[in-house]
Amino acid sequence: MKSTSLRAAAACGAALLAVGGLTAAATTASAADPVGLHVSGTQLVEQDGTPFVARGVSHAHTWYASQTPTAIPAIRAAGANALRVVLSGGRWTANSAADVADVIDLCRDNQLVCMLENHDTTGYGEQAGAVSLDAAADYFVSLKPVLQGTEDFVQINIGNEPTGNNEPQVTGWTAATSAAIAKVRAAGLRHNIVVDAPNWGQDWKGVMRDTAATVAAADPEGNTLFSVHMYGVYAQASTITSYLDAFEAQGLPLVIGEFGHDHSDGNPDEATIMREAVERGIGYYGWSWSGNSGGVEYLDMVRGFDPAQKTDWGKLIFDGPNGIKGTARTATFFSGTTPTP
């Protein structure tokens, strides 16, 4: 659950590339031989074993591609060590392989770990125009030529908020997510895979929480990171801590893939979200840099993509207690490189 206007932006029929003929035999790697960013117990670690804890934000690239060349350096300058990038395979204007390659280069130049997410799945089963996780996986397979060799700093977030609140999509999340992971792996992509929870990412029915181990076991690389989005469902500190405790108890890795300081569905406890993430070494990504409208403009961190005009939300997440600036550490992969000015 996030920007009403972004989800409602002129949805059209998906035009995803169908990729067939892939088999599990195409994946020759094993979990014992990880490349780049990978899961180790409850942690996301780099190739050399150094834990990487994301402190980042989302940028709605697919709707604001013209802003991306300046937004990415600005987000880095504000203190982030990671960026979640909104892409589309066809529900909105499709982001081509060449376009995605440019985004990846900008992330590398600015020393940002780059989570690429396919937004086309948002609200599947509830919102018109949304596509399945299977179709989203096809999109990432189509990007294989520009993704290969980027495993040290690029993550594949297969599908954003891949169900609404309707059945059978919610309880079908486990099988659909497992199959999408298998498709990406069969294509030979070894990146860390990030999977969003059902129920608009908030998992209020506990489907991801209760079946995450099954999904993790479906990944032959053993390299799946689970992502929960925390908005109004997480208005109470006890709800936040109990959800985080559940993953810790199972020994499974979790990232807070989105959260805000307010929302139309309730007022999330952002102070507890940020504090618990820091204390537990869990990554977080705030929503979002700029461009929200339709009544949720308060989710903008800067006004009009101007980094000199931070909102109260922007000041809080970047400069406040347990904020990005004070807790972000650059990935060791970028050691010895100089960010683009």
Instruction: State pLDDT tens for residues 229-249.
Output: 999 999 999 999 999 999 999
Q: Closest by alpha carbon to 197, among 167, 222, 168, 171?
A: 171
138-189 confidence digits (pLDDT tens): 999 999 999 999 999 999 999 999 999 999 999 999 999 999 999 999 999 9
Task: Tell which wins on pLDDT, 6 or 124.
Answer: 124
Predicted confidence (pLDDT) at residue 24 exceeds the cutoff of 90: no
Facing residues of 259 across strands?
230
Pairing of strands 224-230, 113-118: unpaired
Q: For domain 46-327, give the CATH superfamily.
A: Glycosidases (3.20.20.80)
Alpha carbons 25 and 27: distance in angstroms, whole number: 5
262-288 burial: b if 16+ Cβ within 10 Å, else e: ebeeeebbbebbbbbbbeeebbbbbbb
Is the pTM here over 0.95, yes or no? no
Q: How confident is the model at residue 340 (pLDDT cuts 50, 70, 90)?
A: low
Task: Give the percent of the chain with pLDDT over 90.
Answer: 85
The two tokens of residue 121 are 């799945």
Task: Tell which wins on pLDDT, 282 or 23.
Answer: 282
Looking at residue 36, what is its pLDDT? 97
Going from N- to C-terminal start, the domains of the chain cover: 46-327
Q: How confident is the model at residue 205 (pLDDT cuts 50, 70, 90)?
A: very high
Looking at residue 94, what is its pLDDT? 97
Looking at residue 11, what is its pLDDT? 28
Q: Closest by alpha carbon to 58, among 122, 15, 13?
A: 122
Looking at residue 33, what is its pLDDT? 86
Window from 62-66, 162-166, 231-235, 293-297 with minimum mean pLDDT: 293-297
Predicted confidence (pLDDT) at residue 287 exceeds the cutoff of 70: yes
Looking at residue 7, what is its pLDDT? 31
Q: Output the CA–CA distances (angstroms, integers) from residue 39 to 16, 52, 122, 195, 288, in the order listed.
A: 29, 10, 25, 13, 26
Looking at residue 16, what is its pLDDT? 26
Burial of 110 (0-12, 13-18, 19+ CB in 10 A): buried
Active site residues: 161, 258
Task: Tell which wins on pLDDT, 5 or 159.
Answer: 159
Q: How confident is the model at residue 265 (pLDDT cuts 50, 70, 90)?
A: confident
Window from 1-15, 31-45, 271-285, 287-301 with minimum mean pLDDT: 1-15
Predicted confidence (pLDDT) at residue 310 exceeds the cutoff of 80: yes
Alpha carbons 201 and 270: distance in angstroms, whole number: 16
Looking at residue 30, what is its pLDDT? 55
Q: How confident is the model at residue 263 (pLDDT cuts 50, 70, 90)?
A: confident
Predicted confidence (pLDDT) at residue 26 exceeds the cutoff of 60: no
Predicted confidence (pLDDT) at residue 327 exceeds the cutoff of 90: yes
> Quick one: average pLDDT of 3-28?
32
- 313 near 260, Cβ under 8 Å? yes
Looking at residue 19, what is its pLDDT? 29
Looking at residue 87, what is its pLDDT? 98
What H or E segment, with its residue span, contains residue 247? helix 237-250
Averaged pLDDT of the chain: 91
Q: How confident is the model at residue 293 (pLDDT cuts 50, 70, 90)?
A: confident
Looking at residue 266, what is its pLDDT? 85
31-44 confidence digits (pLDDT tens): 668 899 999 999 99
